[in-house]
Amino acid sequence: MQGVEAQYIELLREANSGCTTDIALLSSPIRIPVEKGVKQGDTISPKLFTTCLEQIFRDIDWKGGVNINGELLTHLRFADDIVLVAETTDLLQTMLTELDIRSSRVGLKMNRMKTKFMRSDYATRGRIVVQGDEIEEVEEYVYLGQEVNMRRDMEKEISRRIRAGWKAFNSIKDVLKGKLDKTTRTNLFNGTVLPAMLYGSETWATTKREEQRLVTAQRAMERSMLGISLREHIRSETIREKSGVRDVINEYEKQKLRWAGHVARFTDNRWTRAIVEWYPRERKRPLGRPPKRWIDDIRKTFGATWMRKARSREEWEACCDQRSRFDAR
Long-range contacts of 153-160 (CB under 8 A, 24+ apart): 154/204, 154/205, 154/206, 154/207, 154/210, 155/210, 157/200, 157/204, 158/206, 158/210, 158/213, 158/214, 159/213
For 73-93, what is the mean pLDDT?
91
The confidence score (pLDDT) of residue 12 equals 82
Is residue 307 over pLDDT 50?
yes
The domain ranges of the chain are 45-149, 155-246, 253-280+294-322
Q: Which amino acid is at 285?
A: R
- For residues 221-237, give the mean pLDDT: 93
Provide the CA 185 distance to its chain's centre, in angstroms.
Answer: 29
- Tens of pLDDT along 149-189? 988 889 999 999 999 999 999 999 999 988 889 999 999 99
**How much is the pLDDT for 164?**
98
Q: How far is the C-alpha of 60 from the C-alpha of 102, rounded, in Å?
A: 9
What is the bridge-based pairing of β-strands 129-130 and 140-143? Answer: unpaired
**Helices 89-105 and 45-59, interaxial angle, to 10°?**
130
The model carries a pTM of: 0.84
Furthest CA-CA distance within the chain: 82
Amino acid in position 248: V
Angle between helical axes of 208-226 and 236-243 (0-180°, round to 10): 60
**pLDDT score recorded for residue 328:** 39
- pLDDT bracket for residue 238 (50, 70, 90): very high
Rounded Cα distance between 273 and 261, Å, is 11
What per-residue confidence (pLDDT) applies to 323? 58
